[in-house]
């Protein structure tokens, strides 16, 4: 299993970024897949998760209404559209996958089976 995250960068408050995660090495049919972030000195946080088969979604309270998760089942891609970014969104963002689709509902990240490398999002003026 390989997960390759990209799309991070420096953006001003109020700006937008779109993160991508390219997945390979598994069937993608019935998985939980999602985005997590970790800022310096803070615990890892579940940002948004989605189930590949049924499209069930989870959003953390801090990103609801600003971030949108989506998937491309044909190309095994995961996206995170981030709008109205705030300085507190600054973190390293990771994509992860787990064969238990139900884990997408809770999006805790604990016990998830595979993680990609992170991509840094820096929201600063």
How far apart CA 110 and CA 89 sit, in angstroms, is 21
pLDDT computed for residue 28 by the predictor? 81
pLDDT of the chain, 125 residues: tens digit per residue:
899 999 999 999 999 999 999 999 888 888 999 999 999 999 999 999 999 999 899 999 999 999 999 999 999 999 999 999 999 999 999 999 999 999 999 999 999 999 999 999 999 99
| Pairing mode of beta strands 91-98, 119-123 | antiparallel
How far apart CA 14 and CA 112 sit, in angstroms, is 31
pLDDT computed for residue 26 by the predictor? 85
Angle (CA) 66-47-55 rounded to 5° is: 85
Counted residue by residue, the chain has a size of: 125
| DSSP string covering 53-107 | TT--EEE-TTTTTTEEEEEETTTTEEEEEE-S--GGG-EEEEEEEES-GGGGGT-
């Amino acid at each position: 299993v390989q997960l390759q995250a990209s799309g991070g960068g420096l953006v001003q408050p109020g700006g937008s970024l779109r993160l991508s995660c390219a997945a390979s090495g598994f069937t993608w049919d019935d998985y939980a897949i999602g985005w997590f972030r970790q800022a310096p000195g803070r615990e890892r946080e579940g940002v948004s998760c989605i189930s590949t088969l049924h499209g069930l979604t989870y959003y953390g309270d801090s990103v609801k209404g600003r971030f949108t998760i989506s998937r491309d089942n044909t190309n095994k891609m995961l996206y995170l559209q981030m709008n109205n970014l705030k300085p507190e969104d600054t973190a390293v963002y990771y994509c992860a996958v787990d064969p238990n689709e139900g884990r997408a509902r809770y999006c805790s990240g604990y016990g998830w089976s595979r993680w990609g490398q992170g991509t840094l999002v820096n929201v600063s003026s």
